[in-house]
Amino acid sequence: MANKAAAKQKRRRTTMVPVTTMEEIPVLSEKERAELLDSLKRAEARVRSGKAIDYDPKTFKDRLVRIQGALCLTLPSRRAQHLFKGD
């Protein structure tokens, strides 16, 4: 039993994330790509300066579901749309 408890303590913490099917999305334009890279650089600078927030599984899940819901409702795929309309 002691070995089982020790092995359990060494496991990495995990989280649940939704898995979706492959969808066709537009390729970023040069301007969009530059904006994305700029945004990532600003985020990295916030982390380096200590302004990052701690990971919270519930907040992450709520935000991801909210973003995916909005995205699925804008996609042309009827299958993706019905997931958030309750069909």
* pLDDT tens-digit series, residues 44-70: 999 999 998 888 888 888 888 888 776
- Domain, as residue range, for 68: 56-87
Q: Is residue 20 a part of any domain in this protein?
A: no
Is the Cβ–Cβ distance between 80 and 72 less than 8 Å? yes
DSSP 27: P
Q: What is the DSSP letter of 20?
A: -
With respect to residue 65, please indicate whether it lies within any of the assigned structural domains. Answer: yes
Alpha carbon distance 38, 15 (integer Å)? 28
Q: Is residue 7 scored above 70 in pLDDT?
A: no
What is the tally of structural domains in the chain? 1
pTM assigned to the model:
0.42
Q: Percentage of the chain surpassing pLDDT 70?
A: 68
Residue 27 inside a domain? The answer is no
Residue 85 lies in a domain: yes
What is the band of 4 on the pLDDT scale with cuts at 50, 70, 90?
low
Residue 74 CA to residue 87 CA, distance in Å, equals 16
69: in domain: yes
